Each structure stands twice: as structure tokens, then as C-alpha cells.
Structure 1
Amino acid sequence: MTDTLKVDLRSDTVTRPTPEMREAMANAVVGDDVYGEDPTVNELQDTLARMTGFEAGLFMPSGSMTNQVAIAVHTRRGEEVICAEGSHIYEWELGMMAAFSGVVPRFVPAPLGVPDAEQVRLAVRHSIHQSPTGLISLENTHNKAGGTVIPLEVMAQIRAVADAESLPLHLDGARVFNAAAALNVSIEDVCRPFHTVSICLSKGLGAPVGSVLLGSKDLMTRAHRYRKMLGGGMRQAGVLAAAALIALRDGPARLPDDHRRARQLAEALVNAGYAVNLASVQTNIVYAAVQGAQQKVDIWAGQGVLASALGPDAVRFVLHHQIDDEMLARAIQVLTA
């Protein structure tokens, strides 16, 4: 089966640039972004900062880099980062908080990806006998929990804890536009409680490359140094920012369809006998319990449907804007046969 006929549900990072994105990339006005002279990158940073209510933004190659730069900006070596169990900054970022910033995580329980503000407060450490807390970090949507959404009131409660403890609050918002769509609120509403937010443009929104870290002008000036240390100076990056601007303009309106299709897929899997926690299917991600997950994924791949085996008995499916209703129907036919 040719690549164009495959239904790729491994991740929302697999989308290809649209013709409009390719045209924008070809025509992008560029400069040296390390000097702050790429006008298209500057437009992207300023546009997203205005949308989210921050003073400034900084474009980087990946969400892992924006998260790790945020950790570096907020913390000092030997401190702890409070984060929800299963957080991407720990599970999928290769120990970089320890390797780069010299800090370690302290986990709090997070049923369906939602930590309790009181549990966060109890996790704060100020004693000279323990590693002090340097940062609180949340993830919205929470990938490993199933793309689940933290309600606005919970984020506000945790911001109150951060303020009371004089701590910064960071959001790993790789799919924060999905959270806003699920909550039916503005992106600014979701970002408001945080001192910094990392937003990935190459996941739900469909850009080919890039994430933006958002915060105050002072924090972004400091972040620029850490981006450079990590090799994130991309020079004439306007060719990438041009596509990201298209994704930012067009992507959010498409997200409810991704969520609808994820729910449709989840219910079809349940009806076929697979174990799916439907309470966790809140956005564009579906986790199913599948015995012999990798073998099953390999069989499905041979029939043109791609998914990700995450462990011996778990499979993840992610919906995105290049999966239409016809492709979803074909996937359901294969997966439930």
C-alpha cells in the first residue's frame, strides 16, 4: 500500500505541510533570527504573544526545547520541579531537567492528568534539609493521561498556591489549543494563570516544525541565551515560521473535528471489545488496552493503519487534520475486524 493511502494515527506530528504552507515557506521574508532580525519569526512570536496575553515569545525547534529552556530560566541547580505524574517533561524529555538544569522532579498524583491544588501545596519544600522547590509545572492537555484537560478553576487554584509560595508556574501547553477547544474558551483564558507557556505548533495545529515559549520580555531575553546553549539558533528560520503562521491562523478551528473523530474511534473500539477509558477521551488522543500491542500494531500497519504501541499492552491513536471521515471509517474497519 502506498504512503498516500495509509491512515497514520501514530501522532499529530505526522502531518505534512499543506500547499498553502509550502507557498508561504517559499515566499517567506527572512533574516538572521539569532540576531532577532528575521521578520517572519518576529511576526510569529508577536502574533502568538498577543493571542495568549504575554509580552513576548521565542521560537524554537521543539516543545522539548521550549520546556527545558523554561525550566532553566525559572530554577537553580539542586531545586525540585513539582509536576503531575506522567508529565512529558519527565517521561519523554530524556532527563534533561537533571542533565541541563540540575533539577529533579517531585511528582503529585494526577487522576486523568489533573493534579489537586492541595496536593501541589503539600509537595512544596522550603526546608534546608530537602531540595527546595523552584518551579511548578502543569501539562494541558496531558498526553500520557489520554489528552485530558485541566479545568480553568483548577489552574487558577494552583496559580494561587504558586503565588502564596512565591513560585513560578509553567505550562507545557504542547496541545493547549486542544484544551481551549475542549473547554470552549479562548487560548488566552487557558494561558492566563502561567508565568511561561510552551506551545507546540507542529502537533494539533499542523505546522511542520516548531514551538514557541511565551512569557515576559525579561524572561524571553534570558531564554534566548539558553536556546543558544541548546543549539536552537536556527538563523533564517522564517521559512518555518511562515508555515507556523498558517497553522496558527487555520488550525484552531479544525480541532473540534479532531476531537469528534477521536470520540468516534474510541466508541468503536469499545464496541469491538477493546478497553478504553472513555472519560479520558476529551480531545484528540485515544489509548486502548491491547494485549500484544506491538504485534497488533504491526498487523494493522500491514493493512494501512498506523498506530503507536506504548508498552506491551497499550496502543495510542492520535487524530489530526489530515484524517478525514472517510479515512477514519477505513481505520475503524481495520481496527475492529
Structure 2
Amino acid sequence: MSAQESNCDDIVDLRSDTVTLPTEAMLERMQCAPLGDDGREGDPTVRELEARGAALTGKEAGLFVPSGTMGNLLAMLAHAERGTDIFADGCAHLLNSEIGSVVTIAGLVPKPMPSHRGAMDEATLAEAIRASGRPGMIAMETTHNGAGGTVLPLAHMARVHALGQAKGIAVHLDGARLFNASVALGVPTARIAEHTDSVMFCLSKGLSAPVGSLLCGSEAFIARARGFRKLVGGNMRQSGVVAAAGLVALETMIERLSEDHAAAKRLAAGLAWLDPALADPDQAQTNILRIDVSASRNDAAAWAADVKQHGILVQASGRMQLRLVTHRHIDDAAVDRTIAAFAAVGG
């Protein structure tokens, strides 16, 4: 890893995989990318990225957007009418961190569903849709951030999609870390996305591109979403500059996500060795760990502040939970330093 790519040597940043920096190959591609006006006749590099994303997810078309939040918003605007109900896991990112978009901009009514490790209770979901006066859409999330990077079972996704089809409502997938799910399951991303009407995935998390996400679906859906992208200020003009990094991300960064998963499992094992109450290595499926500090004398904010003194950055998530996210800048030495810092603070 070059000096340009690496984070500060004395800091281990586990707050998110969004802190990843672009690779040298990405920076080189960005310098020579053919460009155009994406809001007018189109940017050739953006078009190439959109086609690549659509092919990987098995969808007809793709749309490049600045963020995953915008991608999810456009899906809601394109799929559902204002005032209709959106059904999702109560702990979903969409109904928590993105609730402003759901309610204020899309004008949808949140219907949070009980779930287990990110998978909605199917019987409750079916009954909620039956009882709804205006069902609008269903949203799933994989990997599931709030549930600690868990991956939805494909059979569950298939049943939820079938329910949506039977009721005539669209099923959207918040797949911010879709490729982590694909690698964890050992299946192509299209096998996951086939159980949805639309899917959003991020390029700027574990894939290490500097910015951007893709929304994929049918040609008619993407045409509608493209109009809404302009409405909310998402046209980016010569955005091939950043789309070029996204192409490199899709070409070179997917398979290596298994390294992040291995680092997370090793980190979970080390923390569980310190205190079994902190983590369960068997629950570490991808690159996100949810660390429970409720049995300790300090809350999550205090833990985050204390380990920061040892050069470790983690995110307090709720009063008694920490979120740790591994990524390509987290090697074995970083894992060891993190375990040592937790040992020092916990001791």
C-alpha cells in the first residue's frame, strides 16, 4: 500500500469502511477518463459504469448517483406514491439514518417490521401488507448494518419478493454492501438481486472508490429514477472523473472483500477471548462487528473515547454498543493493536 493510499500509520480507523482511500489504479483511471455532460447527452465513463453495474446485478439498466442515501430515495420516489406505506425491518438503515428522506421527501409512511438478524418476520409482514390501506413498497437490506453485517438468506429474500409480486408492490434492496453479501454467500450478485425489483449498492465503502453508488432495475424504472435524480439535484455533469474509480472498484476490489471478513472474524475472536460478552465470533459474517459493552463499567461513548487514546477509532452506536468495521486498510497488525487497546481499557 502506497503512502498516498494509506491512512495515518498511528491510527487504526474502524469507524466505517467509508474511510477507505482510492487505489493508485483508481487515481490513474480518473486522470484519463473520457468525459461528457451526464445531465445532457451523457458521460461515456458513467454510461460504462452504469452498464457494468446493471450486468453484475442482472438488471436492465443502472443509474450513477452521488450516495447510497440518494439511491434509496430515488427508488422510493420511482416505486411508490406519496402517502403509501413502506415496509422494512425496524432496525433498517432506511428507517433510521435515512428516515428524513422516507418521510419528508418521498412522503411515505414507515411500517417497521420485527425481525431476526435483519430478516423481517414474514408472517407479520404479510399481515401488515394485507391490513394496509395503501401499500407502497417493501425494502430489504443486505448486508444488514444494524444487525452486525449479517447476510439475508436467499430463500427469505425469494419469499419476500414473491409476496411483493403477489400484492402488486415493488421490493427494493438497500445493498450498500451488496458485494460483501455476495462474497459471504459465495454466489454472484445477480443471484441476490434477482429477488428484488431494484437494488442500490455503494462503491465508496469496502470497494474503496472515493464517491458514488449505483441504482439498478428495469429500463422503465431507471428512466423514472433518472428524472427524480434531476429533481433532487443529483446531476453531476462530468462525473466520469469519479465513475472511473467506480469501474476500477468493480473490476479489482470485489474478491478481496473476503480479507475484510477474515479480519473481522479474527478481531471478534480476539475480543471474545478478552471477554465473551463483548463479541461472538460465530456471528461475524462479513466486515461489521457490533460490540456489546453492557456488562462493563463504562458505556459505549466512554469506550470509544478510551480506545481512541490508544490510536483506535471506533463508533459508539447506541448507549451500550460499539460498531467496528474492517476494510482494506485494516491488516493483521491493526487487528492486534485493536485487541491490545481493548485489553488495556477493559483491564
1:298 and 2:305 are equivalent in the alignment: yes
In 2: Cα distance, 1:191 partner to 1:143 partner: 18
Aligned to 1:63: 68
Secondary structure at the residue paired with 2:91? coil
1:95 and 2:100 are equivalent in the alignment: yes
Q: Report which stretch shifted further, 265-274 or 68-77.
A: 265-274
Residue 137 of structure 1, CA deviation: 0.6
Residue 278 of structure 1, CA deviation: 4.0
Runs of 4+ in 1 over 4 A off after TM superposition: none
In 2: Cα distance, 1:116 partner to 1:257 partner: 32
Give a deviation string over 1:169-205, Cα, whole Å, max 9, x none.
1000001111111111111101111110001111121
In 2: Cα distance, 1:124 partner to 1:278 partner: 36
Residue 104 of structure 1, CA deviation: 1.2
Is the CA contact (8 Å cut-off) linking 2:206 and 2:257 kept in structure 1?
A: yes
Give the TM-score normalised by the residue count of structure 2.
0.93
In 2: Cα distance, 1:93 partner to 1:69 partner: 12
In 2: Cα distance, 1:277 partner to 1:179 partner: 19
Residue 312 of structure 1, CA deviation: 1.9
Q: Which runs of 5+ in 2 are unaligned?
A: 1-6
In 2: Cα distance, 1:295 partner to 1:285 partner: 20
1:119 and 2:124 are equivalent in the alignment: yes
Residue type of the alignment partner of 2:76: I
In 1: Cα distance, 2:99 partner to 2:121 partner: 26
Aligned to 2:315: 308
Aligned to 1:275: 278
Aligned to 2:342: 335
Is the CA contact (8 Å cut-off) linking 2:287 and 2:325 kept in structure 1?
A: yes
Give a deviation string over 1:247-296, Cα, whole Å, max 9, x none.
11111111111111111111111111142244532110001112321122
In 1: Cα distance, 2:76 partner to 2:133 partner: 16
In 2: Cα distance, 1:75 partner to 1:305 partner: 43
Secondary structure at the residue paired with 1:33? coil
**Structural mapping, 1:226-265, within 5 Å:** 226-265=228-267
Residue type of the alignment partner of 1:25: M
1:16 and 2:21 are equivalent in the alignment: yes
Q: Return closer, same or farther for 1:124/1:331 CA change in 2, 3 Å cut-off.
A: same
In 1: Cα distance, 2:214 partner to 2:233 partner: 15
Q: Which runs of 5+ in 1 are unaligned?
A: none
Aligned-pair identity (%): 42
Secondary structure at the residue paired with 1:95? helix
Give a deviation string over 1:33-52, Cα, whole Å, max 9, x none.
11242111000000111111
Aligned to 1:284: 287
Is the CA contact (8 Å cut-off) linking 2:12 and 2:313 kept in structure 1?
A: yes
Aligned to 1:321: 328
Q: Report which stretch shifted further, 277-286 or 33-42.
A: 277-286
Give the TM-score normalised by the residue count of structure 1.
0.95
Residue 164 of structure 1, CA deviation: 1.1
Number of aligned residue pairs: 333
CA root-mean-square deviation: 1.4
In 1: Cα distance, 2:228 partner to 2:282 partner: 39
Is the CA contact (8 Å cut-off) linking 1:116 and 1:154 kept in structure 2?
A: no
**Structural mapping, 1:144-183, within 5 Å:** 144-183=146-185
